[in-house]
Structures are given as C-alpha cells and as structure tokens.
C-alpha cells in the first residue's frame, strides 16, 4: 500500500507540503511510546500516534519510518512540521481514534 491510499482510508490530511505520497508502506505500527517504536517498528512502516512533539519526528527519522499520522485530530506545531520536512518525513492528521484508524488500515495489510 502507498501513503496516498492509506490516507484515503483514514480520511487523513497531509501536513507536510511537497512530500511524496507514493511512498510504499511496509506495515502499520500504532504507539504513543517512542521507546516501543525504536524497539519494535519495521522500517518503512506508517506510524500512528497521539503524541505530538518533536520526539516523534526524531524517533521516526532514526527508525526509518515512512510517514507519521497523528490521531484524534491532533496537529503538531509549525516547528515540528518544518523539522519533518527537513527530514523528508511526511506528517498527516486524522480525526479518527487510534483504534478506528487501525481498524481501517488492517485489512489491506492482512491481504498481502
């Protein structure tokens, strides 16, 4: 699945301009614990999180995350968006809860 398709499934709004929406996603990982992201995420995954701070962008960059989606309508500050753009990390937001977003994204990844 590519990022553009995933965002369509969860009604996601892209927050970082000029990011590649055709990036391939290897998996989906949902967590608010950045230590779990570092320990368990698969490179190229889409990260769903309710945590909205600079640690998310830094952790995602270290862990080779393909993109980050903030759940429950949360949006990062302009500084965080700028940092993500410098790291070529797409950021998006969805009004869905983490559970609802996972529900919508799980079937396409199970079918692989």
Q: How many domains does the chain have?
A: 1
Question: How far is residue 95's CA from residue 93's CA, in Å, rounded to a whole number?
Answer: 7
* 28, 49 contact by CB (below 8 A): no
Domain CATH code at residue 10: 3.40.1390.20
State residue 112's pLDDT score: 62
For residue 36, what is the enclosing H or E element? helix 34-40
pTM (predicted TM-score): 0.95
Tens-place pLDDT, residues 15-45: 998 889 999 999 999 999 999 999 999 999 9
Domain that holds residue 73: 3-110
């Amino acid at each position: 699945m590519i990022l553009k398709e995933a965002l369509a499934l969860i009604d996601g709004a892209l927050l970082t301009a000029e990011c590649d929406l055709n990036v391939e996603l290897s998996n989906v990982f949902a967590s608010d614990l950045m230590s779990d992201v570092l320990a368990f995420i698969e490179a190229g995954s889409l990260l769903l999180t309710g945590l909205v701070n600079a640690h998310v962008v830094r952790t995602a960059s270290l862990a080779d995350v393909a993109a980050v989606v903030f759940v429950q309508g949360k949006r990062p500050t302009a500084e965080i968006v700028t940092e993500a753009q410098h790291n070529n990390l797409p950021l998006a937001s969805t009004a869905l809860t983490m559970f609802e977003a996972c529900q919508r994204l799980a079937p396409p990844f199970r079918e692989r």
